[in-house]
Amino acid sequence: MRQGIRRRDFLKTLVAAGIIGSLGGVAKLLPYRRVVRPPGALVEEKFLSQCTRCGQCIQTCVTGTLVPCSLGEGLLIWGTPRVDPLRAPCEAVAGRCEISRPCVENCPTNALVYVEPEKVKMGSVKWIKENCIAYRGGECLVCYEVCPIDGAITPRRGIPVFHSGKCIGCGRCVYACPPEPKALYLVPDGERRIETTR
C-alpha cells in the first residue's frame, strides 16, 4: 500500500528537481560519488532520469537501509536512494524482502523494478584488514556467520576471505562488523543494474 508523500519531502523533491532542471546538461558534468543503489535499480543514467526523489522507497524500506543521497555526494544524485549498511542491511535476498519489496512496489516511476533474488547484485564489500579483529589475532568471524550467500565469505585459518564475485552487496557483514572503525565497507563494484523496465 502506498503511503502519501509528506509535505517536506514533496518540497525537497521540487527544490532538487528545480535546481537540477535549471542547470540542464551542466548538472551531468558535475562530479558525484558512486553509491550502492537498491536492488532492481535501472542503469544510472536511466535511474537518474526516472527517479523523482519522492522518497517513497526510503519511507517504505522494511529494514531502514535506504537513505537519500546528500548534497555532499553530488548535486546530480542529491535526494536519490542509496543503501547505507551502517543503518541496516538490505534483505532482498534470504530476508524479509525476498518475495515482496516495498521499495520497488512503492516506486511510482519504475526507477526500481523487481528482480529475482538470484539476480540481485548491488555491489560488494571491501576489507580493511588492519581494522579486522580476526586479522589482528582475535576470534571473530561475525561477517562469515551473517552472510546469506554460500561462498561469498570463507574462513581460512580463522581469518575471513572475501569473494567479490559471489558477494551481492547486501551489507549484512558491514552492519554486523564489530570493530570501530569497521573492517568492511560497501561499494557498488560489480553491481548489476537493469537496462529497461518491463
Residues 107-147: tens digit of each pLDDT: 999 999 999 999 999 999 999 999 999 999 999 999 999 99
> In this predicted structure, what is the pLDDT of residue 3?
44
Place of cell 518540497: 11
Residue 82 has pLDDT above 90, yes or no: yes
Residue 30 confidence class, pLDDT cut points 50, 70, 90 = confident
Please state the pTM of the whole predicted model.
Answer: 0.86
Residues 143-156: tens digit of each pLDDT: 999 999 999 999 99
Residues 89-111: tens digit of each pLDDT: 999 999 999 999 999 999 999 99
Residue 13 has pLDDT above 50, yes or no: yes
Place of cell 546528500: 70
Q: DSSP of 43-55, one letter per residue?
A: PHHHHHHH-----
Has domain 121-187 been given CATH number 3.40.50.1000? no
Nearest one of 193, 165, 171 to 184, comparing CA atoms: 171
Residue 44 has pLDDT above 80, yes or no: yes
Q: How far apart are CA 118 and CA 94, in angstroms?
A: 10
Q: Where do the structural domains in the chain lie, given as residue ranges? A: 7-118, 121-187
Q: How far apart are CA 134 and CA 122, in angstroms?
A: 26
